[in-house]
Amino acid sequence: MPLARPLGSPSSRGPACGSAPTPEATLLQGGRESRSAVSVGLEWGSRVTTIGLEFALPAVLGRGVDVWLGTAPWLTVAGAVLGLTVGMIHVLRLPGEIARAEERRRPPRSGGAAERADDQARGDDDAGAPPAQRH
């Protein structure tokens, strides 16, 4: 019974031991992400760590200064309020940052019929014309 592909062909065997994976194997396909999974994971890990430190670090520093100056618990409370405020501001800004990052990763518009229709709807009829033909 003949095989569809010879056993030695590149498509019939996986990557060799110790060889670097191909870019196609390391990138997520389908247009949803053009970076490797490790890169995305490290980015999210750093975001979560940063937000956690923003919540906790001011209270911990306030506690340390309270012990040093003998003003307990006022600087601890002030640090906790500051940390809560800064952390929540960061958490509330995160969706906007994600949306802007997605916009930057999208390929530029091709200038096709859909873009011309958008320009006409805005009243910019000659936006797609060469500069010499614009009014």
pLDDT, tens digit only, all 135 positions of the chain: 455 544 544 444 444 555 544 444 444 444 555 789 999 899 999 999 999 999 999 999 999 999 999 998 999 999 999 999 999 999 999 999 888 888 887 776 665 555 566 666 666 555 555 555 555
Question: 126 and 134 in contact (C-beta within 8 Å)?
Answer: yes
CA dist., res. 2 & res. 11, Å (int): 17
Torsion angle defined by CA atoms of residues 86, 87, 91 and 94, in that order, rounded to the nearest 10 degrees? 60
Cβ count near 120 (within 10 Å): 13
